[in-house]
Amino acid sequence: MKLFKKIKNIIKRPRKHHLDYLAAIMGIPFVLLLFYINITNLQNRDKVKDDAPTKQEKVIIEREKLVAPSGGNQVQNQAATPVTCKKEIGPISISFPKEGQKVIENPVSFIIKHNSDEYCTVVWSYRINGSSWSEFSSNSPSVYNMPKGNIKFELRIQSTISDDEESLTRNFTYEGSGTIPVPTATSSSEFN
Tell me: the pLDDT tens digits for 70-92?
555 555 555 555 667 777 888 88
Instruction: Give the pLDDT score at 107.
Output: 87
The percent helix, strand, coil of the chain (3-state, each to 5) is 25, 30, 45
Among candidates 65, 73, 137, 146, which has minimal Cα distance to 104?
A: 146
CATH number of 88-174: 2.60.40.10
Q: What is the average pLDDT score of the chain?
A: 75
Q: What is the DSSP letter of 184?
A: -
DSSP string, 98-137: PTT-EE--SSEE-EEEE-TTTB--EEEEEEETT-PPPPPB
Whether the predicted pLDDT of 171 surpasses 90: yes
Cα separation, 105 vs 101, in Å, equals 12
Instruction: Give the pLDDT score at 100.
Output: 92
Instruction: Give the pLDDT score at 30.
Output: 83
DSSP string, 62-80: EEPPEEPPTT----EEPPP
Give Cα 61 distance to the centre of its chain: 10
> Which neighbouring-strand residues pair with 112?
94
**Phi then psi dihedrals of residue 6, to 5 deg:** -65, -45
Residue 170: is it exposed, middle or buried by C-beta count within 10 angstroms (0-12/13-18/19+)?
A: buried
Cα separation, 63 vs 191, in Å, equals 55
Question: pLDDT tens digit string along 40-66?
Answer: 888 887 666 555 555 545 555 555 545
Cα separation, 150 vs 130, in Å, equals 12
